[in-house]
Amino acid sequence: MTAPDAGELRRLTRELLAAHPPATTGRTDFLKARFDAGLAWVHYPVGLGGLDAPRSLQPVVDAELAAANAPDNDPRRIGIGLGMAAPTILGFGTDEQKQRFLKPLWAGEEVWCQLFSEPGAGSDLAALGTRAVRDGESWVVDGQKVWTSSAHVARWAILIARTDPDVPKHRGISYFICDMTDPGVEVRPLRQITGEAEFNEVFLTGVRIPDSRRLGPVGEGWKVAQTTLMNERVSIGGARIPREGGMIGPVARTWRERPGLRTPDLHQRLLTLWVEAEVARLTGERLRQQLVAGQPGPEGSGMKLAFARLNQEISGLEVELLGDEGLLYSDWTMRRPELVDFTGRDAGYRYLRSKGNSIEGGTSEVLLNIVAERVLGLPAEPRNDKDVAWKDLSR
């Protein structure tokens, strides 16, 4: 079957709109019909929401749907599923797993979260200690995960756990899909400096996961997790935004609307950060074009590094620009939001929340090592635990 070109995709999109008018079709019904038509993510295989078309043609479909006022799948709400779980399931899942999970994931019927980091295994994720022990056709999982966004609203989780403590840490890990509604899964909120609890800690006590929900071979979960992590960094740092989108937008608007706040020093700093934000935005576009040819690589780590630094510097400038007003934070309340909204809140929120950008999705220190070793080709840091069994590591 020949991959469709832009003209064919426009025709198929218009057929979808004619058969399922957005004005009279329920949101979920329309999204499911879009998935079935192969117009969800056109580069995915036929039958799994795609048409085996080039990834670069997705904007053709999106533009037609936007012009018709068609609903989207609220990608910010289901970002972990779209950006991390879906490409991992596509790359390592069985046919049954792909058929079961991808459609409700894309349509937003099922929210996903990520059970990776642990209290003793954050930057050194491969040192994780959550155990999965085989019991017949199931695995019994015990352990604790932390910094889990959306766990309080998620139905499913991507989970890595140690299945063999007798081999070095990277080789004894397996990758699972965990049902967050199963007995033994307990989600507790973690209150942040913003006053909210978008993150959680998750306790797993005797949780039984069928072997049919394992992704990839036993003991090769680290390889599977690399696909998740590389996609995560692209989704965090490389999201498509318009010019003056993201954190630079509110600062630029304040600068234009309130000339009394300006000083020559702040002017120069704003110009510098505006240029850096635009460079990062265009670099993200180039990265997405590279993705057309294959899977994300270490370049996503560089984008995520830039994203974290820019957000923190821009939010700091905004607070300075506003003076006393910038110190106000009008909504310091305990909530458990589903979404992180950087631009729809006040400057105080942005300043506080951006501090987490250099931790979530991989710390900046770890990402610097990845860029140094895998992009620049610099010598790897000395590691004395590569050949030591996990059980013999000091903790």
pLDDT given at position 303: 80
Q: Return d(Cα 369, Cα 225) in angstroms, integer.
A: 18
Which CATH homologous superfamily contains domain 225-375?
Butyryl-CoA Dehydrogenase, subunit A, domain 3 (1.20.140.10)
Report the pLDDT averaged over residues 152-163.
Answer: 97
Residue 199 or 171, more confident: 171
DSSP assignment letter at 240: -
Of 348, 342, 343, the C-alpha closest to 323 is 348
Residue 156 or 346, more confident: 156
* CA distances, 302 to each of 124, 162, 207, 231, 351 (Å): 19, 29, 37, 13, 22
pTM of structure:
0.86
Provide the pLDDT confidence category of residue 195 given band limits of 50, 70 and 90: confident
Report the pLDDT averaged over residues 216-245.
Answer: 79
Q: Any alpha helices (H) in the chain, and if so which ranges?
A: 6-19, 27-36, 58-67, 79-80, 86-92, 95-106, 221-237, 248-257, 264-291, 299-322, 347-353, 364-370
Provide the pLDDT confidence category of residue 318 given band limits of 50, 70 and 90: very high
For a pLDDT cut of 70, what percent of the chain falls above it?
92
Poorest-pLDDT segment among 98-102, 210-214, 382-386: 382-386
Catalytic residues: 232
Report the pLDDT averaged over residues 279-291.
Answer: 75
Tokens of 281: 């935005």
DSSP 249-267: HHHHHHHHH-GGG--HHHH
DSSP assignment letter at 118: B
pLDDT at 295 over 70: no
Tokens of 242: 């318009």
Q: Return d(Cα 199, Cα 193) in angstroms, integer.
A: 11
Domains of the chain, by residue range, sit at 6-67, 81-219, 225-375
pLDDT at 47 over 70: yes
* CA distances, 274 to each of 145, 241, 264, 313, 317 (Å): 37, 14, 15, 11, 11
pLDDT given at position 179: 98
225-375 shares the fold of 81-219: no
pLDDT given at position 363: 83
Tens of pLDDT, residues 120-150? 888 789 999 999 999 999 999 999 999 999 9
Give the three-state DSSP class for 121: strand
Tens of pLDDT, residues 351-373? 988 988 888 777 888 888 888 88
Q: What is the CATH number of domain 81-219?
A: 2.40.110.10
